[in-house]
Chains A and B, each alone.
Chain A
């Protein structure tokens, strides 16, 4: 009898212990390549992280402005040693360091944004921002009168180039003769340079300014000149209420929540995911009042097409700036081609260097 009682107590204790273990806090770490205030990119990810703070039993932490390379390797090792359950690295350059650390810490989960390497405990993810860019291009194409659209862009890396291309395709869907002129600022967050770049485009006759930058500098320039603008990352209408038509925006919170849920349930596995507009990870900010109803309807119809998978955007025939056919008629560009895009479509004026 005594033995049975003792055994029962022991079983109770053990199950209690396992219940305790199951309710252990989940520690989620984030690494940003730039300060969260400065760069809309990191800011958007941080908004996603904050979306996790409401979840029960989840604790988040972040390190910002971590240089790619050995610094990031150290930060990730640090996090892994502290027992973080899952680490999100939000820049391409973190890929190789993360791979090294993933091999050292097989019990920690790693998620890399915008890369392509994987391991048993390392997956990668991204969002199809180019879909939202396409829609914003349609709006720009519909609103321009000078048929010149200016694009202030940061660095000639594939995601920026892909965004410009998708944007231009959207412009041409509504306004086949319009061109998109690109100016590189070589900075993600310098309002002064970005605004000056926008002005330089305005000087050559652009009457809609779009951007792949993280400050509202170009928006200000457009508003001051009395023309239109397209924002980025988040709704920038507060900065340029008379100019801001719409903006392609990120919405990472639902994605991060679903990943952390997988971790909690134990169903997480390393895979390569690139969700699109259908999951809400990218979207279009609300239209400004100046966008006419019929254009809005056209864009929303196109959005429905994209969400339903009917419009893959990079569907041939698509030519590059020199006129060579890069995507054959009827063909859909495969994901790797999109991820490594370094050429501009016809209709873009500018270099990729």
Chain B
């Protein structure tokens, strides 16, 4: 009789987590291939269409980058919070409020010159998102309220608030009654890089990603966040009260998601409308878990999951696969990665009797 014995490792294996992610993604593709065959689509053909749609042309890569930008920023924020075991499920709502904040500035001061208007929009977006992240943090620390539920509920509230504004006071008078704001003035729009379709938000991501990397690498808090499993210890070593650390982390998290909201409203849609919400905040959770707190990994994972979204569109167009296929893959990838964590965090040995 053989028994598998599981013991926890002192230090989780580093390189093998990469292997685990790859194996997990492969397994997920396999399982979703089975789902494709349920619709009489040969799995390999389907997956090929998916990949070709995602990465098979210059336009596709550009589309991936465009989508990866908001996912990256939201994930950056969520990853920081997760590291402290603060479960920020509210990136979606923080994104929404960031977009609302930026829109308010754009609609109220449309004629300001670009170099003043854009930073003002960013500031408002980060402020709004940060505030929306701060509330659950304070509730968590002061009143022991579960942040998972609070952030989730606040997502719904934020999105409904956005709806309320675009159906009401912010509705464009020339939009024939459809819920959308006026188009932003040219100064309020973040432009595209050269003749590509990608906007300068990519540069924002580079800067912010580097800032987070510096923060993790060179500050005391950052180092402890990355290294420690015990968040209270991190706070103690950094000399900051744990409560304030949690609030700080959630403000940063919310601000980053808010920045993503600003970019979507300004660069991609050039106005505010309900369809700005496509679930980036939830995809960010998947990315944050896959990539942990390494901005480079977050960038790669964001690009991959953005590719998934773009590829699924192609899958719909060519093979009429329902859009939900992308969600299934996301869920499968996350579950398989979680399961695979067993192999990196634990040592398995076989014991015989």
B163 and A186 within 8 A (CB): yes
A93 and B275 within 8 A (CB): yes
Task: For residue A94, give the distance in angstroms from its CB to the closest CB of chain B.
Answer: 10
| B-contacting 9-mer, from A17-25, A56-64, A212-220 | A56-64
With A and B bound together, what is the CA distance between A186 and B316 in angstroms? 27
| A-contacting 9-mer, from B24-32, B235-243, B318-326 | B318-326
Task: For residue B240, give the distance in angstroms from its CB to the closest CB of chain A.
Answer: 40
A70 and B178 within 8 A (CB): no
CB neighbours of A174 from chain B (8 A): none
Chain B interface residue count, Cβ-Cβ cutoff 8 angstroms: 27
Known contacts A35-B322, A340-B177: A70-B268 contact under CB 8 Å: yes
CB neighbours of A64 from chain B (8 A): 316, 322-323
Segment 313-353 of B: residues with Cβ below 8 Å from A? 313-314, 316-318, 320, 322-323
With A and B bound together, what is the CA distance between A18 and B317 in angstroms? 29
Task: For residue B251, give the distance in angstroms from its CB to the closest CB of chain A.
Answer: 29
A116 and B322 within 8 A (CB): no
* B176 interface contact, C-beta 8 A: yes
Task: For residue A348, give the distance in angstroms from its CB to the closest CB of chain B.
Answer: 16
Task: For residue B92, give the distance in angstroms from its CB to the closest CB of chain A.
Answer: 14
Known contacts A35-B323, A63-B317, A70-B268: A155-B179 contact under CB 8 Å: yes
B273 and A157 within 8 A (CB): no
* A67 interface contact, C-beta 8 A: yes
Segment 75-130 of A: residues with Cβ below 8 Å from B? 75, 77-79, 81, 92-93, 96, 116
Task: For residue B168, give the distance in angstroms from its CB to the closest CB of chain A.
Answer: 6
With A and B bound together, what is the CA distance between A341 and B167 in angstroms? 14
Contact string against B for A residues 330-353, beta-carbon threshold 8 Å, 1 for contact and 0 otherwise: 000000000111100000000001
CB neighbours of B268 from chain A (8 A): 69-70
CB neighbours of B317 from chain A (8 A): 29, 61-63, 75, 78-79
CB neighbours of B275 from chain A (8 A): 67-69, 93
A116 and B63 within 8 A (CB): no
B313 and A157 within 8 A (CB): no
Task: For residue B62, give the distance in angstroms from its CB to the closest CB of chain A.
Answer: 9
Task: For residue A92, give the distance in angstroms from its CB to the closest CB of chain B.
Answer: 5
* B20 interface contact, C-beta 8 A: no
Segment 206-258 of B: residues with Cβ below 8 Å from A? none
A66 and B59 within 8 A (CB): no
Segment 131-149 of B: residues with Cβ below 8 Å from A? none
* A51 interface contact, C-beta 8 A: no
CB neighbours of A275 from chain B (8 A): none
Known contacts A70-B268, A74-B63, A77-B59: A93-B178 contact under CB 8 Å: yes
B180 and A63 within 8 A (CB): no
CB neighbours of A70 from chain B (8 A): 66, 268-269
With A and B bound together, what is the CA distance between A71 and B66 in angstroms? 10
CB neighbours of B63 from chain A (8 A): 74
* B276 interface contact, C-beta 8 A: yes
Among B59, B178, B278, B316, point to the contact of A67 (Cβ < 8 A).
Answer: B278
Known contacts A64-B316, A69-B276, A78-B313: A93-B66 contact under CB 8 Å: no
Segment 38-76 of B: residues with Cβ below 8 Å from A? 59, 63, 66
CB neighbours of A66 from chain B (8 A): 313
Contact string against A for B residues 173-187, beta-carbon threshold 8 Å, 1 for contact and 0 otherwise: 000111110010000
Known contacts A35-B323, A158-B176: A69-B273 contact under CB 8 Å: yes
Considering the complex of A and B, which 8 residue pairs feature the smallest CB-CB distances, nearest first?
A158-B177, A68-B275, A340-B176, A65-B323, A342-B177, A67-B275, A69-B269, A70-B268
What are 19 A-B residue pairs whose CB atoms fall within 8 Å in the complex? A35-B322, A35-B323, A61-B318, A62-B316, A63-B313, A63-B316, A67-B275, A69-B269, A69-B273, A71-B313, A74-B310, A75-B313, A78-B314, A81-B59, A116-B176, A155-B167, A156-B167, A157-B177, A158-B177
Residue numbers of B with Cβ under 8 A of A are: 59, 63, 66, 163, 167-168, 176-180, 183, 268-269, 273, 275-276, 278, 310, 313-314, 316-318, 320, 322-323
Given A68-B275, A93-B273, A339-B176, output 8 extra A-B contacts at Cβ < 8 Å: A62-B320, A69-B268, A70-B66, A92-B176, A93-B180, A156-B177, A340-B176, A342-B177
